[in-house]
Amino acid sequence: MKEALKEIIFKKVTGILILVVLIALILGVLGSRFLSQKGSGAQVITVPTLEKIIQISELSTFTAVYNGIAEVPNEKDPEKVDYYVAYDAKVNAGIDFKKIDIQIDEEEKTIQIKLPPVYITEVQVDIGSMDFIFYNSQKNESTVTQEAFKACNADVEEESEKQEAICELAKQNAVNVITALVQPIVAQADEEYQLSVA
């Protein structure tokens, strides 16, 4: 039990560290681009400027490790199970950055960034982790792998859609990423602006 808990914590910490490194790299590139364009005059914060800063098509902001068991029914008699297959998979969730809504109120000195809904961006089944329990011995052959892989993909997609925690954590990470990308640029251009990301 302790080993499983340590492994879960290690995977989460590793995921967070990867996210932090990604943010640092993006900030470095975008910050240097912004600074190289900066002239001697005062900077004006505009929606196109902020859109350019967060110009990413799709970003997975959370990765979960999932251990599942897929059930493969008999083609002729769906009431019977041919075999079960246990598997490991990674589930990525994130947002479509093209659908981010940015509102700037120059009088109130506020910037509001509204994020689109989080969705499952990708599932990756580890084909090497698949382990079988056969009830139909005729299915126990080398060609079963492709069918089992499809069943595992369908199973992890269905199960991950039900897990609200995955989307909640992905949303919070997306808020953190956008804030980390935009806040330094806004603060450098005009410290009076208040940034809100939700």
Give the full edge-to-edge strand order of the sheet including 81-96: 58-73, 81-96, 119-134
Rounded to whole angstroms, the Cα distance separating 103 from 114 reads 8
Counting the structural domains of the chain, the total is: 1
Distances (CA, A) of 137 to 29, 134, 144: 57, 6, 11
**Per-block average pLDDT, block size 10, for the chain (198 residues)?**
42 49 50 44 61 62 92 94 97 88 91 93 95 94 93 95 90 90 84 90
pLDDT at 51: 65
What is the residue whose two structure tokens read 């079988």? Answer: 132
pLDDT at 53: 57
pTM: 0.67
pLDDT at 189: 79
CB 23 within 8 A of CB 184: no
Which amino acid, one-letter code, is at 133?
I
Specify the 3-state DSSP secondary structure of 156: helix
pLDDT at 50: 65
